[in-house]
Structure 1
């Protein structure tokens, strides 16, 4: 019994010391500093976010928080699903804190296992030529 407890504690300590998740080529610090996209920095990062979007699929919530930061808003869905909302541009949400705005946003959906299952936009991104 003692060795089981020791190994469990050792494993928990190891997991707590892991480096935060990241995706090469994505500036997580700039993204996270632009809370709710109100400074306009995320607007300039939309293409970069769209390029790494597929890399987020299957990641657990904690890794997404490491990469994108605390969500700007959160929705709880049926069957244990959650949606993290990250605004991509300034909008009325910058002045009205507890209300969703019509500003474009990325919606990161998690399944019941707390892993990313879908990422959508409120409005599709414009196609560049």
Structure 2
């Protein structure tokens, strides 16, 4: 009986650890390079825009922790009514590189998180000329 309990606990722990990871559909994205280029001041995020565009629609409906595992801490965020939030991730250098306390006019990805903690919208501050996914 005790042995079965330990096996069950092990299965639950492995399942929980797997659930907190990144879904397979998002694994091809270079998440580490994106996270290293905070505020897009190094120019790496700009190079990743086409890759991001390929996974952008896969983010819809994903939980907030999946988004944060993939893209890291947002460069800025806006709190809305009814527990909604918008996360901002810059994709090009701009005024945010010298003054991080204000939103700059540099292009950025804007991710809306609904009151259930799920991604409900992923847009750009300005339209972007990214390659359309196949």
Structure 1 length-normalised TM: 0.84
Question: Can you give the 5+ residue segments of structure 1 that lack an aligned partner in the other structure?
Answer: 1-5
> Could you say which residue in structure 1 is the equivalent of 2:83?
80
2:115 aligns with: 112
**Aligned counterpart, 2:33:** 30
Is 1:21 matched up with 2:8? no
TM-score when scaled to structure 2? 0.81
* CA deviation string 1:57-110 (max 9, x = no partner): 101111100000010001101111111100001110011011110000000001
How many residue pairs end up in the alignment? 120
RMSD of the alignment, in Å?
2.2
> Which segments of 5 or more consecutive residues in structure 2 lack a partner in the other structure?
none
SS in 1 for 2:29: coil
User: SS of the residue aligned with 1:17?
Assistant: helix
Q: Does residue 96 of structure 1 match 2:99?
A: yes
Instruction: Please identify runs of 4+ aligned residues in structure 1 that moved more than 4 A.
Output: none
